[in-house]
Amino acid sequence: MRKYVMMGVQGSGKGTQSELLCQDLDLVHISVGDLFRWHVKNHTKLGAQVRRTMHAGELIGDDTVEAAVQDRLDQHDWNFGFVIDGFPRNGRQAEFFMESYDIDGVIHLELPDDEVRRRVLSRRLCPGCGMDYNLIADRPRVEGCCDICGTELITRADDTPEALAARLRDYHEKTRPVLELFRRKEVVHDVDARPAPEEVQVKIREALSLPPYTPKG
């Protein structure tokens, strides 16, 4: 059984790296973001709570996140293990999580703030069909237009330099105690998140002493 935590700032590729890590190792990817989207989509009690919180423009509380993760892990469909991203959120949760689940390793994807800014501020969204674009890695064929439906692309309302700076501050402040706790238990592996996704995955597997990554198909 392999149990890993994926940590990293927005834009560091947490989701992508978690998926790649799960692929051939039969691990279950537990993404807190996806978990909430699932609850909202399926109109669960938790989904209603999340919807209300977001509607009020507030952040989802640590306790709600913890409840959702606990509920997800209680399904015990992770026979070979899991990779979790978006959790734990604070030192107390990290302590509890370490003790309850005997975590094998924590991957900390390192990305300098200026690179986060470059990546996040280059994101564009199609308001017509919901397709995501990125002016660095995933440009539309015609500048400013959606490849699929031709709608003019927009920037997400919360992808402004000011909003991003606030999110970065918040991230560093909240993550520091979690990382410190994991570091004391000597389970953290720092990985440079700047190279291409496949290269980053190779480094992650080396760090965790896992079989090498072989791209699919």
Contacts with Zn ion, residue ranges (CB under 5 A): 126, 128-129, 131, 146, 148-149, 151
CB of 147 to Zn ion, least distance (A): 7
CB of 131 to Zn ion, least distance (A): 5
Nearer to Zn ion, 100 or 155 (CB): 155
Nearer to Zn ion, 1 or 137 (CB): 137
Nearer to Zn ion, 89 or 124 (CB): 124
Type of residue found at 138: D
DSSP 8-state code for residue 24: T
DSSP 8-state code for residue 139: -
CB of 17 to Zn ion, least distance (A): 27
CB of 145 to Zn ion, least distance (A): 8
| CA gap 188, 208 in Å, rounded | 10
List, in sequence order, every residue forming a beta bridge with 85; answer none if it has no partner. Answer: 6, 31
CB-based burial, 84-108: b 16+ in 10 Å, e otherwise = bbbbbbebebbbebbeeeebebbbb
Strands ordered across the beta sheet of 28-31: 28-31, 81-85, 2-8, 105-110, 188-192
Nearer to Zn ion, 109 or 153 (CB): 153
